């Protein structure tokens, strides 16, 4: 006599009132064949492709959001600069376009080289 171990679901079915002594059908296990393995591998590869494309889409969206944030920040910075310039009081005298006069003389800016005599040149140490 073989002892059969009943699962909890089977036990409930046996104890229920509407059980009509039908044979309990156990789920059929699939055999692990090469065909089944190739099918599983194909499903996993398909899922990988879908997930990879989704990751690419999300990366693209993140890049676009980053670009938009950079543009917003630069625009806000430009607006802040313009507002600061508008709030600054207007100067009474405009800045001159011509540079200020040079105070030093040409002879001071371009000194003459010292002349050396022939004898100094000849008997240099």
Asked whether residue 4 is domain-assigned, the answer is: no
Percent pLDDT > 70 in the chain is 67
Asked whether residue 31 is domain-assigned, the answer is: no
Asked whether residue 80 is domain-assigned, the answer is: yes
Total domains, the chain: 1
Asked whether residue 82 is domain-assigned, the answer is: yes
Asked whether residue 62 is domain-assigned, the answer is: yes
pLDDT in tens, 29-54: 777 788 889 999 999 999 999 999 99
The position carrying tokens 């590869």 is 45
Percentages helix, strand, coil for the chain, rounded to the nearest 5?
55, 0, 45
Asked whether residue 115 is domain-assigned, the answer is: no
Query: Could you tell me the residue range of the domain that residue 78 belongs to?
Result: 57-86
What is the reported pTM?
A: 0.40
Which of 32, 33, 13, 29 lies closest to 21 in space, CA to CA?
13
Residue 40 is classified by DSSP as: H
């Amino acid at each position: 006599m073989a002892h059969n171990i009943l699962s909890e679901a089977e036990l409930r079915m046996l104890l229920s009132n509407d059980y009509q002594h039908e044979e309990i059908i156990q789920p059929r296990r699939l055999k692990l064949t090469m065909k089944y393995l190739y099918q599983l591998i194909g499903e996993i590869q398909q899922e990988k492709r879908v997930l990879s494309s989704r990751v690419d889409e999300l990366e693209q969206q993140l890049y676009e959001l980053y670009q938009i944030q950079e543009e917003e920040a630069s625009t806000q910075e430009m607006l802040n600069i313009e507002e600061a310039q508008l709030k600054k009081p207007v100067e009474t005298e405009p800045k001159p376009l011509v540079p200020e006069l040079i105070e030093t003389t040409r002879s001071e800016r371009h000194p003459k080289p010292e002349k050396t005599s022939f004898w100094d040149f000849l008997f240099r140490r």
